[in-house]
Amino acid sequence: MHENIREGDDVFLHDGDKGFGAVRQVRKHWLVVYIENAGDYEIPLEAVKDAEAGKVILDSAKLDNKLRAAIRRAHSGEDPRIP
C-alpha cells in the first residue's frame, strides 16, 4: 500500500472528508505532509490506513496530540461563506 503514495497526494482522516494537507515527501519510514495553516509534519507510515487514487487516509488513533490539533485547525482560516 505504501508504494502507492506519491508526492502531491491529498491527505485525509476519513474518505469523503475534506483533505487537510498534501504529501511533500515519501521516506522509508515517514511521510512529510504539509498541513494547511500548520506547516510540515513527519507522519509515521504505520499511521496510514489506506492509499490509492491520489488519496492518503490516516488512522487518527496513531497520531500524536500535536498533529491532531494541527489537523483540526487546518481549515480555520477559510471564509465559511465560500463553498
Instruction: List, in order of start, the domains of the chain with CATH numbers.
Output: 2-72 (3.90.50.10)
Beta bridge partners of 22: 10, 34
| pLDDT classification of 79: cutoffs 50, 70, 90 | very low
- When comparing pLDDT for 81 and 6, which is higher? 6
Q: How far apart are CA 59 and CA 12, in angstroms?
A: 9
Q: What is the mean pLDDT of the chain?
A: 88
pLDDT value of residue 76:
63
Beta bridge partners of 35: 21, 39
pLDDT value of residue 83:
53
Contacts of 70 (CB under 8 A, 6+ apart): 35, 37, 38, 41
pLDDT in tens, 32-71: 999 988 999 999 999 999 999 999 999 999 999 999 999 9
Q: What is the pTM of this model?
A: 0.85
